Amino acid sequence: MLHAIPVLAIALVRLRKTSLLVFTKRLLQYLSSTYLNYTISRDGARWWDADRSRVGAVAGVLSQLYNQDKLLDILVDVVQAGGIDTLPIQRACTLAVSKFGGQLNSMVDYLLTQWGDKLVINHTPVMAQEGSQLHDSI
């Protein structure tokens, strides 16, 4: 199947934008549910590195498919439109886009904005989130 990716990329260029958006979103959902749907145990010393080969393989497929400007714009648009909310598929998309450079900044800005609020909420002490001061409670 991997040998047919260049042929599929040629066919994708001929699709209208709406069809291409739908195809891309469904492809990302398929890749995510088929190859990136797993749980990583955080017991190991390098637990964050456990899925590197899977994410890299999916990114390789995406970079072969979306290697033209029009297609790369569609991939970035689909990720930024939402609905692609699992971290492994977002990592794969970011890696695929990074091979071409142009859209990387906008994608990283979007992902940082999306995940940044969750990180702040999860890692900021409750007192700081509520706006209360330490000396007020004494």
pLDDT > 60? residue 131: no
The per-residue pLDDT for 1 is 63
The per-residue pLDDT for 31 is 93
- The model's pLDDT over 4-42, given as tens digits with 9 standing for 90+, comes to 888 888 899 899 999 999 999 999 999 999 998 888 777
- pTM metric for this prediction: 0.73
Q: Is residue 95 part of a domain?
A: yes
Q: Is residue 130 part of a domain?
A: no
Q: Is residue 132 part of a domain?
A: no
Split into its structural domains, the chain has a count of: 1
Q: What average pLDDT does the segment 115-136 reach?
A: 55
CB 59 within 8 A of CB 96: yes
- In angstroms, the CA 40 to CA 37 distance is 10
Q: Is residue 107 part of a domain?
A: yes
Q: Is residue 42 part of a domain?
A: no
The per-residue pLDDT for 48 is 73
Q: Is residue 44 part of a domain?
A: no
Return mean pLDDT, the chain: 80
Report the percent of the chain where pLDDT is more than 90: 22
CB 86 within 8 A of CB 54: no
Question: 106: domain range?
Answer: 2-36+50-125
The per-residue pLDDT for 70 is 82
User: For the residues of 52-81, what is the DSSP string, one character each?
Assistant: HHHHHHHHHHHHHHT-SHHHHHHHHHHHHH
Q: Is residue 54 part of a domain?
A: yes
Q: Is residue 9 part of a domain?
A: yes
CB 56 within 8 A of CB 23: no
